[in-house]
Structure 1
Amino acid sequence: MKMLKVLMILAAMITTSVAFAQKSPMAPGDFHGAVADKKSYKVVYQLNSDDEKVIKGTLKNIANALDDPRLKGKLEVELVAHGGGVTVFKKNQPYEAQLKALQDRGVILAECENTMRERKIERSELFDFISYVPSGNGEIIIRQQQGWAVIHP
């Protein structure tokens, strides 16, 4: 009798396992990513590092997002630089062409005025085509509360 109970429990466990396996999601090759079913998407990229790899990676990430066919014509992007991120907007750095190309695609380029004041950076040291916000953190907080996604590479 005890053996019959054990066999019944094992049979129930096997049946449950098989049923669970059959209900698993699609095969890995069938997944093609999320569907962009909204009219528009908004994202802020936060850049607070002067590391060349981080800067280049951030600019590339923005371009990749703009090139995503699911987001074409639906994406609003802002790059907020503060702290060490101010490096991306300095005239003595090699990022002007990339920044202008992103701006031509509608990307808002915003520098934190707190960073400039703390680091004693003059506007004349930065590209003349960028915009300014009172604080980078404040900009990110406001944007996030407005529903913007925040990405910090």
Structure 2
Amino acid sequence: MTAFYELSATSLDGQSISMRDYAGKLILVVNTASHCGFTPQYAGLEALYQKYADQGLVVLGFPCNQFGKQEPGGADEIAQTCYVNYGVSFPMFEKVEVNGSATHPIFSYLKHALPGVLGGRIKWNFTKFLIGRDGKPLKRFAPMSTPANMEATLVAALKI
């Protein structure tokens, strides 16, 4: 097992979820926000999830309020935005921090493995990390990388 599979997170409904549950899947981890210019990416992420879930893709959304205070609400408000406004069906987790001393362990791990332009920091909401079926981080995508622009990379990683 890789280190990623040793990590866990709390779902939006309060359940502890082991990343081991996603072993063998292509995982796209995204730090999200409900009141961001990139929030419409939820629709594109959901479209990718619907299109490729049967081939092994899973999208994991992690709300974060560290950038412009664009995720101020609690779990109910986040659920409203994700599930009702955007029809999200992929797993969503509780609000986390992605930078600083309280960084969630998943993001500490991913930032170390795929440092990006700012080194060990995340620049903004909707930074995306692609993790291979073997649990190894493959690629980091900038916030402005739309789900549609990432599709060819996902297809190649899915090997379909």
Q: For this structure pair, what is the TM-score category when the shorter chain's length is used for normalisation?
A: 0.3 to 0.5
Q: State the TM-score, normalized to the length of structure 1.
A: 0.41
Structure index of larger Rg: 1
Structure with bigger helix share is 1
